[in-house]
Amino acid sequence: MAKEFQPVVLAAGKGSRMTDLTSQNCKALLPIGNMPMLWYPIDALQRAGFEEAIVIVLSSYCAEAQKLLVEVCDVQMRLDFVSIPDQDYMGTADSLRYIRDKIKRDVLIISCDLIMDISLHNIANIYRTYDATVTMLLCSPSDQTTEVPVPGPKSKKKSERDFIGFEGNRVLYMTSEADLADLDEDVISFRRSVFKKHPSMNIKSNLTDCHLYIIKKWVIDYLADNRQISSIKGELIPLLVKKQFSKAKKKELPNPNESVISEEVKTDILSYIPKDDMSGVIQNMSSWIDHTGDMEDCFHGNTIRCYAHIVKGGMCLRTNTVGSYCETNRQIPKYLMGLDKDLTNVASSASLKGKPQIGADCLIGDSCNIGEKVSIKRSVIGRHCTVGEKIKITNSVILDHVNIAEG
């Protein structure tokens, strides 16, 4: 897998949905279970056998990120940090375009805010099986999530549902509720030709896009030439899903009365697919391949193919709001102790006076001082914190170097 895919960690987001936490702090370095957020996807890559990765970060915290991951988190992977100027707004697709020259093979893209206990081999197997153009990770709402009171001003939640059409794990349709609202439509329209090929499409609206994708290298080449695409999830993936059912445009002869320089260059996405694509090789071996069911479409007709791995159960959380940040910290002690059986929830360098009540679902960071008659439940206490006597802490995330006075 390490030689097959080139991993890219997207960590240049500014955390616009959680500004209470990110107005003065870098989102990717926010502590979750006393580890920087960015460590979790990198650790997932390490456990999958990857030895190197590209990490895209904002230039203002590039040095800090390198120091934290190498010195504090003891990351063994070779990390190629690519810094983006803070003043330049770049969407996720813009970031990929920025590193185009570094991409040498099919790319595995993972967001810095994804924390999961899912094996990356599962999504890679689907990608290989169907020779997919893109395979994405989707998850169902977790039964483990709870409604924890969230600090900060109360505001109405904007609907962020996606409508995704499936046949098996083939993705046939994808649009967001916001896009439908912009079109002022109450119904979802489909091409009749799509239903002819896929008569049993199943539409789901309760899945979360985890921002983890495996994408063919030629898609990055297409992105480089089409600068109007800024977002992977919002623009690139829906485009690929839609283009599955398109046919290559016939090349028109140039206008003899028009200069070559003034002629408009039109980029058809299908023209970027390499001629020696593996699907062409497999078609030539049709005598021993069973072209039935979903595999029939895989190797006949559609040159662009989109698939998904849907996670049910386990931990799979995106930490992109204050609410999800609280929820992830609530679940993280169990997750970390599952990774390291020798890990204890109270750091060995922490000082405890008397016998404070500390729940098994809590984490106490390095060099903390916890006073007498203290009760800590469902909370994470950062490094170098001081908690005075007679204090109750519940459903809280205390960042590093915080002093909570007695009483």
Q: For position 155, what pLDDT does the model report?
A: 64
Q: For position 194, what pLDDT does the model report?
A: 83
Q: Given pLDDT bands bounded at 50, 70 and 90, which one contains residue 280?
A: very low
d(CA 50, CA 258): 51
pLDDT at 104 over 90: yes
Global pTM reads 0.87
Residue among 98, 337, 313 at smallest CA distance from 220: 98
By mean pLDDT, which of 55-59, 151-155, 296-300, 394-398 is the weakest?
296-300
pLDDT at 279 over 50: no
Q: For position 142, what pLDDT does the model report?
A: 64
3-state secondary structure of 404: strand
**Tokens 């070559």, residue located:** 260
Q: What is the average per-residue pLDDT within 385-392?
A: 96
Q: Which residues are registered as beta bridge partners of 166?
A: 171, 202
d(CA 234, CA 230): 8
More confident residue, 373 or 290: 373
pLDDT at 158 over 70: no
Per-residue pLDDT tens over the stretch 54-76: 999 999 999 999 999 988 888 99
Residue among 365, 361, 360, 403 at smallest CA distance from 382: 365
Q: Is the dihedral of CA 202, 204, 209, 210 positive or negative?
A: negative
Q: For position 4, what pLDDT does the model report?
A: 94
Residue among 326, 324, 126, 345 at smallest CA distance from 214: 126
Q: For position 252, what pLDDT does the model report?
A: 57
Tell me how long the chain is: 407
Q: For position 189, what pLDDT does the model report?
A: 79
Q: Quick one: what percent of the chain has pLDDT higher than 70?
A: 83
pLDDT at 282 over 50: no
Q: Given pLDDT bands bounded at 50, 70 and 90, which one contains residue 290?
A: very low
Q: For position 284, what pLDDT does the model report?
A: 38
- Amino acid letter, residue 1: M
Instruction: Say which residues have a Cβ less than 8 Å from residue 338's Cβ, sequence separation at least 6.
Output: 117
CA 341 to chain centre: 27
Q: Which residues are registered as beta bridge partners of 310?
A: 138
Q: For position 74, what pLDDT does the model report?
A: 87
Angle formed at CA 175 by CA 169 and CA 177, multiple of 5 degrees: 125
d(CA 56, CA 396): 30
d(CA 140, CA 56): 28
- CA end-to-end span of the chain, whole Å? 54
